[in-house]
Amino acid sequence: MKILLLGKDGQVGWELQRSLAPLGELVALGSRSESPCGDLGRLDALRATVAAIRPAVIVNAGAYTAVDKAESEPERAHLLNAQAPGVLAEAARDCGALLVHYSTDYVFDGSGTHRWKEGDATGALSVYGRTKLEGERLIVRTHPRHLVFRTSWVYAARGGNFAKTMLRLARERDTLTVVDDQFGAPTGAELLADVTAHAVRACLADPARCGLYHLAAAGETSWHGYARFVLEQALALGVELRAGPDAVRPVPASSFPTAAMRPSNSRLDTSKLQAAFGLVLPPWQQGVSRMLTEALT
């Protein structure tokens, strides 16, 4: 079985290279892959890639993810986040492939304090959110054999991330100021990749399980709570810090104006996914602790 992975070098794409490898023959392409073409911005070449490989599964981990920059580059964001997934859906339909794609909590307006369910009304606040929403809609409308996972607050062990930034600042400064009025669940790229592999197997065996699902680690926190947790863990691991957890000052998001508006409530209800696939999503602290232990010991 051939699996085509697009966006292989991103946070999620990198972990998918690991988790998808045992499922079949993996063809992993990045934005700069030329032959076959892995550039989501070249729609005709993308169609040709799928037609040439004829994969049983297409996993798209590529996207325009620069949330603030998207406000000034709406056409590029639309091309990569909406048109390309639409083309992939048509190409997957034409060759009978299962299409896996990732979307975001940014499709919601972030109001209230409830956990968003898959069927709740959307109301994206930003260009990024609107283009991601259009992309997922094109897939759902075009090709029933899809898995679309809306996730939130993704981090990976590889490269930079929020936790590593907090650690660096806590070594350099006496106090940190971190937003305390946006809520969600930090979700590891590892977890996303592992759940994807399970769900792909389940959908190949039983296409009735295809659909759109919310996928995030369990529990919730604010960025402020997240930062405190990171520093508590670092101290427990013997790391010397100038600023400990009590030196993290809570501030509203309005203290850090950004080009794109972000939702305050990014809590996702994942009960549909857990029931459909018989999976348990671990608390967010578990993945963050693991990532910190790997980074610091």
From 80, 139, 157, 169, residue interacting with ligand NDP (rule: CB under 6 A): 80
Question: Taking the mean position of all CA atoms in its chain, how far away is CA 21?
Answer: 20
**Residue 1 CA to its chain's centroid (Å):** 25
Angle at 180 between CA 175 and CA 181, to 5 degrees: 155
Q: Does 213 bind ligand NDP (CB under 6 A)?
A: no
Q: How far is the CB of 110 from ligand NDP (least distance, A)?
A: 13
SS3 assignment, position 22: helix
Neighbours of 107 (CB within 10 A): 23
Tallying the residues shown for the chain, one arrives at 297
Based on the shown chain and the rule CB under 6 A, indicate whether residue 5 belongs to the binding site for ligand NDP.
no
Whether 128 sits among the annotated catalytic residues: the reply is yes
Q: Please identify which residue in 154, 200, 203, 248 interacts with ligand NDP, judged by CB under 6 A.
A: 154
CB of 61 or CB of 97, closer to ligand NDP? 61
| Closest distance of CB 77 from ligand NDP, Å | 10
Cα–Cα nearest to 10, from 38, 32, 39, 30: 30
Residue 188 main-chain phi, psi, to 5 deg: -75, 140
Binding mask 112-141 for ligand NDP (x = CB under 6 A): --------------------x---------
The residue assigned the tokens 């979307």 is 103
Task: Using the minimum distance from each CB to ligand NDP, give the nearer residue, 50 or 243.
Answer: 50
Does residue 163 interact with ligand NDP by CB under 6 A? Answer: no
Question: Which 45-74 positions form the footprint of ligand NDP (CB under 6 A)?
Answer: 61-63, 65
Q: How many whole angstroms separate alpha carbon 69 and alpha carbon 64? A: 9
Of 40, 91, 178, 281, the residue at the interface with ligand NDP (CB under 6 A) is: 40
Catalytic option among 102, 106, 128, 213 = 128
Q: How far is the CB of 141 from ligand NDP (least distance, A)?
A: 18
Q: Cα(52)–Cα(97) distance, rounded to whole angstroms?
A: 13
| Residue 192, CA distances (Å) to 63, 135, 207 in order | 16, 19, 20
Active site residues per annotation: 128
Binding site for ligand NDP (CB under 6 A): 6-7, 9-13, 30-32, 38-41, 61-63, 65, 80, 102, 104, 132, 151-154
